[in-house]
Amino acid sequence: MAEFLRGARDTVPMLVGAAPFGLIFGTLAGPAGLSHMGAALMSLVVFAGSSQFIALTLLAGGAGTALIVLTTLVVNLRHALYSANLQPHVARLPQLWRAPLAFWLTDETFAVVQRRYAESDLSPFKHWYYLGSCLAMYTNWQLWTVTGIFLGQAVAGIGRLGLEFAMVATFVAIVVPLLRTRPMVASALTSAGAALLARGLPYKLGLMVAALAGVVVGVWLEEQGRPDETA
């Protein structure tokens, strides 16, 4: 129980960071063409902020279901990386624990929980810490989504308050600190260039092409950078 509370407490800064996203998601859902129920349900069962935002943009742009789902897949692939990192720590828990811990795995919880697992003490209850972080994030996300839905309904024209730019600002804020290595910068430049060149493709397929090109160039340059390891 102490671990559970500590996990929740250590996640508080992340809650503050996630609050505006939840609020904006709830607010923009209506204008983008998602019903109130749909917005609330999406937060409840998908629970992945960036992909929920992108789904709204795509929906507003008239994209079909298949494209939205495919984009969600690409955008959320990074979670596989997180679960690969945490896997050794949860591998001995029953599936009844593993499934919900996986469902609630987010960027924020990963950042907090990874730090706890890295601490050297041998507490057998670190999964309770993980759960505490999860439930704090989940409750917070639902709360702010619903607040946003009501706010969007109550204040007409709130969509014109610059919230349409919030996603751009969010993504810039996520990407820029990652651009610390040459392969990362090259990956971003390739992806940007390809996205601009391929923007005419139907169904926003340009996004997929660009993302793939960016990943390939990044991996390739990284391989070039470490020729000794290939032997």
Partner 1 sequence: MKPHEIAIIAGMTAVTFPIRYLLFALGEHVDFPPLLRRALGFVPVAVLTAITVPLVLLPDGQHWRLDWRNAYLAGALAAGVVAWRWRGLLASIGAGLVTYLVWRAMFMG
Rounded Cα distance between 50 and 172, Å, is 12
DSSP state of 181: S
Q: Which of residues 176-195 bind partner 1 (CB under 8 A)?
A: 176-179, 183-184, 187-188, 190-192, 194-195
- Phi (first) and psi of residue 45, to 5 degrees: -105, -25
Q: Using the minimum distance from each CB to partner 1, give the nearer residue, 81 or 118.
A: 81
Q: Using the minimum distance from each CB to partner 1, give the nearer residue, 8 or 210.
A: 210
Q: Using the minimum distance from each CB to partner 1, give the nearer residue, 107 or 143.
A: 107
Q: Using the minimum distance from each CB to partner 1, give the nearer residue, 20 or 31.
A: 20
Q: Which of residues 61-90 bind partner 1 (CB under 8 A)?
A: 65-66, 68-69, 72-84, 86-88, 90
Q: Which of residues 149-168 bind partner 1 (CB under 8 A)?
A: 161-162, 165-166, 168
With vertex at residue 189, the alpha carbon angle to CA 180 and CA 175, rounded to the nearest 5 degrees, is 45
Q: Which of residues 119-148 bind partner 1 (CB under 8 A)?
A: none
With vertex at residue 144, the alpha carbon angle to CA 84 and CA 13, rounded to the nearest 5 degrees, is 55
> Closest approach of Cβ 213 to partner 1, in Å?
8
Record the tokens describing residue 113, joined without a space.
């929980």
What residues contact residue 229 under an 8 Å CB cut-off, 6+ apart? none
Query: What number of chain residues touch partner 1 (CB under 8 A)?
Result: 88
